Amino acid sequence: MVNSTRERTNLYRNGAKLKIRNFGKRLVSLTSKRKKLLIIAIILILLISFISLRRRSSSAVGGSNVQKVIVNIENSFEFTALNNQGQPTGDRLKLKITTAEKTNQVLVKDQVFTARNNKLFLIVNLEITNDTTLPLNLLTGNLVRLTVGADEQTKYAPDLHNNLVPIAPLSTKIDRLGFVIPDNTKTAKLHIGELEGEKRVIVVNFPS
């Protein structure tokens, strides 16, 4: 009887020990899995950070290769303002061409475009002033045409423009127009004026 009781006690103890060992093994296995997941997560975070750093470095390198020649113009004009439907109003807006830039890169909606195939960009920088107390608009892309070199017959419309440009009351808005030109362009002419009106010509000479 005593031996039977001892045997049951030993069996109970051995079973308890076995359960504790199995629980310990499962706990170690679970901990190992969590460690593996944690290590994988850390590796992914480091990989993403490395890729982001490479992209920033590439952007910085691209920015350092920007070629730009700026010519001051400072010519002012007045044009008929438009409403939101693009129809003429009785008001006038002042348009000032401040500078012209010959460059190999241009930023459009947070994206950098680089000129290729022996081409460059000619960027015409504008200031549009609304002296009235009404919101008005101007279609700048229709007011400027470009001729390049000795060819005065071929007039180019802007490749880069903002369509109908809104100008708030009693304010000045900065705008720009962009043209694609041959990279060896030394002289260009801006033809400024309404589509059906007379044009004023501005000669732009680039030193290089």
Is the CB of residue 104 less than 8 Å from the CB of residue 116?
A: no
How far apart, in whole angstroms, are the C-alpha atoms of residue 98 and residue 77? 11
Predicted confidence at residue 17, as pLDDT, reads 57
Tokens (6 digits) for 35: 């460690």
Question: What pLDDT does residue 136 have?
Answer: 98
- pLDDT of 64 reads 54
pLDDT along the chain (208 residues), means of 10: 55 57 62 69 72 50 71 96 95 97 91 92 98 97 95 94 95 97 94 93 90
pLDDT of the residue at 58? 43
pLDDT in the model for residue 60? 41
pLDDT at 192: 97
What is the reported pLDDT for 27? Answer: 56
Q: What is the pLDDT of residue 61?
A: 41
